[in-house]
Amino acid sequence: MALACIYSRARIGLESPLVTIEVHLSTGLPGFHIVGLAETTVKESKDRVRSALLNCGYAFPSEKIIVNLAPADLPKEGGRFDLPIAIGILAASEQIPLQELEHYEFAGELALSGELRAIVGEISLAIASREQQRTLILPEQNAKQACWVQGATVIAMSHLKQLFGHFTQQQPLPILANNQPMLDADSDNDNDQDIADVMGQPLAKRGLEIAASGNHNLLFVGPPGTGKTMLASRLPGILPPMTCEQSLETAAIHSICAKQLDRQHWLTRPFRAPHHTASAAALVGGGSQPNPGEISLAHNGVLFLDELPEYERKVLDVLREPMESGQVTISRVMHKTTYPAKFQLVAAMNPSPTGFFNDRRSTPEQILRYLNKLSGPFLDRIDIQLEVARLPKGLWNASTENNENSATIRARVKDCRTLQLARQGKANAYLSSPELKTYCQLSEQDCEFLELAVEKLGLSTRAHHKILKIARTIADLQRQTNIERQHLIEALSYRAMDRLIQHLTANLSG
């Protein structure tokens, strides 16, 4: 009788709970049994492990083999348990020494030949193993990205034959050096999406800068061909770069979805633009084994929704809670997973079904019916609503030399964001109600002015708070300590949807 314990990790969201693989060899009829709430892919590892061991020259025990994946109530899925199960069998049958295994964690899928194949979630595994101060052995394809985790001890393995030489110290595998990608923020943001390429639209560019400075949600309203999509795609280029911790969070989410990250754009914020036919599960995540959706893939970055009213209303409404909380919880019968979803929403839409507000083919009733596809609570969560007008005549022949590029605007945005972090530890968009009273104080006259404007426009309390946050960002861009009347007036001007709906309602009532 022999017993061996090997450590691995289960992938449950961004967390990777510890899984202990216990292998017991005993007398009796030969058999191979895996217990511990294993999914089909884990149970199928029996055939992969047996073939891999035999093809690598190891002896497969002719005894009763019981593999227990503890804790028993935690679901296990994926091929990541192939390698630790094989090592457990080798250790229990005394083909490799057992003493040093408690200092290691293993994950990897085995080919029948013994080669190791890539798995998903290597960033989460590296973070978890670092906390336990264990060495993580991964397939070669995963090890390079796992080395991005500062402080993690990672070893790359390409074939099961390397185990014997490593654990007998005959040919030890080298520990990979921490290889965090470059941290040059300026070069990291260089790309082809420069805001200087956008002709005209000074108001839209101003709104884009304010949105980037305070991390505010933004909606562009205008006819086709006015540059709404082009403007939205330039937002990541003017945003301040992510911190190393934020980059690691984003990398962990992408590794769960088996998406390779570009080392040269380690600090660049993600930009996700799902099609308007996307389902609610595609946006927020789902599946029998919950996986991240578009809002989690856009964590610390930008989620762009083009042709906003073409999305189903119930699909847009599922975004309401994540927009407020910065996370999404996906509940299933056997699983409950929470993913981060702190994204900046940028949306674009046409003012009418035909795309042109003054088109005679669209009556005010039809336009209102079209706009009512967007619920009031959802629109309330969009801070800035801008009208993007058609380009004036003669703009094509105008010089673009005076257009500011993304680097110039990004420098101002970065300074503004640094000011906010020093003052309150967060961007203005995330200020709570008590914090608004501390950091967004108004004079008595300005407070009365804002209340009258909110009452006249019929805005909600949430919209009132949004206007205060935008005014705070405008004041920060101008390096002013207090919010003044001019800041409130500019913030109130960014309510295009309210003015549009009021205009249509007045036409109908008239």
Domain ranges within the chain, ordered by starting residue:
2-176, 185-509
Mean of the per-residue pLDDT values for the chain? Answer: 89
Q: Could you give the 3-state DSSP secondary structure of residue 311? A: coil
Task: Decide if 276 contacts 305 (C-beta within 8 A).
Answer: yes
Give DSSP secondary structure letters for 228-273.
HHHHHHTHHHHSPPPPHHHHHHHHHHHHHTT-PPPGGGSSSPPEE-
Q: Is the pLDDT of residue 22 over 90?
A: yes
What's the pLDDT at 394? 64
pTM: 0.89
What's the pLDDT at 301? 95
- Provide CB contacts within 8 A for 415, sequence distance 6+: none
pLDDT tens profile 42-66: 999 999 999 999 999 999 999 999 9
CA angle centred on 297, ends 292 and 302, rounded to 5°: 145
pLDDT tens profile 436-486: 999 999 999 999 999 999 998 888 899 999 999 999 999 999 999 999 999
Q: How far is CA 258 from CA 277, 280, 297, 343, 422, in A?
A: 23, 21, 12, 20, 36
What's the pLDDT at 215? 96
**In CATH, what number does 2-176 get?**
3.30.230.10
Six-digit token pair at 98? 């057992």
Residue 21: CB atoms within 10 A of its CB come to 25
Q: Is the pLDDT of residue 187 over 60?
A: no
Place of tokens 């200087």: 196
Place of tokens 């706009």: 371
Residue 354 vs residue 450, higher pLDDT: 450
**In CATH, what number does 185-509 get?**
3.40.50.300
Q: How far apart are the first and last CA of the chain?
A: 91
Task: Decide if 113 contacts 131 (C-beta within 8 A).
Answer: no
